[in-house]
Each structure stands twice: as structure tokens, then as C-alpha cells.
Chains A and B, each alone.
Chain A
Amino acid sequence: DAMVIQNPRYQVTQFGKPVTLSCSQTLNHNVMYWYQQKSSQAPKLLFHYYDKDFNNEADTPDNFQSRRPNTSFCFLDIRSPGLGDAAMYLCATSRGGSGDTLDTDTQYFGPGTRLTVL
């Protein structure tokens, strides 16, 4: 059963045309993350939510925004996509909270959305 679901799997947009990517989870995890991954590179964290608390990475461009309306869903909005924003966008979740079990910190990734900018 899919635990972290991303839609769509492939998204094509035009230069400057806003796009929204979605992520949902069935794990009831507290933390949700958005990563950008370009070819042959490690995933780069854009931001994460701990419950409703939003945490932006210092080097994330203002062009990228996120919303988490409830525990299960999180959205990535790219307000004016540029050619350099073409990438795989990965959503991940983790349980968070206190405790020293491995599961507390483990991040579970979705299949990703491949964004193409024309």
C-alpha cells in the first residue's frame, strides 16, 4: 500500500506559469518535507513542516512556497517556474516527536514528481 503519494507523477509547465505539486500520506506522520533533486545529485531540502510549523531552508528561493492544510496533505507551489526549476520533486514524511527508536527519524519518500519547464 502506498504510504506517501505524489501527484502528478509527471508535470509539464511553461516558463513562468504557476504550478502546484501535491503530496499526501497515510502514515499520520508529524513531519512533511519537500526536496528538489536534479540529475545525479542528492536531494536538496527546500522546506519542511512539523505539524503546522513551517521551516524554510535559508537558500530556498522565494519562488517556492508550500501549504499544509491538514496532517495528510502538503502542497508545493512554484509561482513562476524557470528553466532551472526543472527537476524531480520529492515529498517525504517522518514521525518526528520524542523517543529514541529508529523510526522516529526515518524519512519515507514518495515516488516523486518529474517537472519539465518548457
Chain B
Amino acid sequence: DAGVIQSPRHEVTEMGQEVTLRCKPISGHDYLFWYRQTMMRGLELLIYFNNNVPIDDSGMPEDRFSAKMPNASFSTLKIQPSEPRDSAVYFCASSLSSGDGYTFGSGTRLTVV
């Protein structure tokens, strides 16, 4: 298996633009998680899905952030409009069930200027 695949690896955008981050989880994993990592706040869970259904989105910072999982092999995290304080590394992770551990993607480094 190729692991959790995220795209793009790097994204630089101007403030106010829409940004879409993509994730392909490991085939057969039924949990998918979106995390944000910054120096100041460490790793923050934004939202997670089980069987394509959002279970907990309490970590989503504000309405500018939205996430979807239209099928078991694809998820998106969208920021509209983007702001400089959204600059961070965004990780997607998937797991088969609790106890197995998460498998993380390589992350998307987002810079909003």
C-alpha cells in the first residue's frame, strides 16, 4: 500500500483565496482524521470521519474551514477565504480502528501571504 497520500505537498496562496487540500486514506481504513500542526499550538485535531461520516468537527477553527469525504477513498479540507494565520502543516491520517494507531500522510505545508 502507498500509505496515506496528501496533495499538494506545498501550497502558497494569497490571503482571501480558496485553498483545497486533498487526502487519500489507506484502502480499507474506515477512520480519517485531519490535523493541523503549528509551532505555537502543536498538533490539533480538526475533524474526523468514520465510514465517510463526520463524527466530530469541534476542532474546526471557524466557518471558513470545511471538510468533506464523498467516498471511502477521498477527503478534502477547504479553507475559504484563507488568512495568514492559517499557515501551518496540515496532516491527514487514517486508521482501521482504535488501537491500530494512525497512519499519517506526509502533510501539506500551507503558506498564506
Q: Do A and B bind each other?
A: no
Binding site for A on B (CB under 8 A): none
Binding site for B on A (CB under 8 A): none
